[in-house]
Amino acid sequence: MDILLAVIVGLLYGTAIYMILQKGLVKVIIGILILGHASNLFIFVIARLTRGAPALVPEGLEFVPEPYADPLPQALILTAIVIGFGIQAFAIVLLERVYKLTGTSEVDQLTTTDTIEATD
């Protein structure tokens, strides 16, 4: 299971970076989405997986018997998902504004701030 998930994490990172390096802004945003998933899954796997043992105190005991699934990475991922969701929403609205204003969603066309020409 660990190895399968590790491979998936690698694939997700690869796909995300490939998409972010594309010219179309929509693809860049899809890349950002996948990158978030890759990081979240990465945290999930690297904090070690324990199957079928939730961190709940059974009746009659004062503590959780080992081994149990660590709940902290799950809390981290939940937070990261929520934050990522906000950022993605912002990115999509930004894309929409850019498209409306410039009539293009190609990164190659959006280079006015990179040129040596002075701004007004």
Query: Where do contacts with other proteins occur on this chain (CB under 8 A)?
Result: 20, 25, 28, 32, 35-36, 38-40, 42-43, 46-48, 70, 72-73, 76, 79-80, 83, 86-87, 90-91, 94-95, 97-98, 101-102, 107, 110-114, 116-120
Minimum CB distance to other proteins smaller for 59 or for 117:
117
Identify the sign of the CA torsion 94, 88, 31, 13.
positive
- Greatest alpha-carbon span in the chain: 74
Minimum CB distance to other proteins smaller for 56 or for 96:
96
* Residue 55 CB-half CA count within 13 A: 9
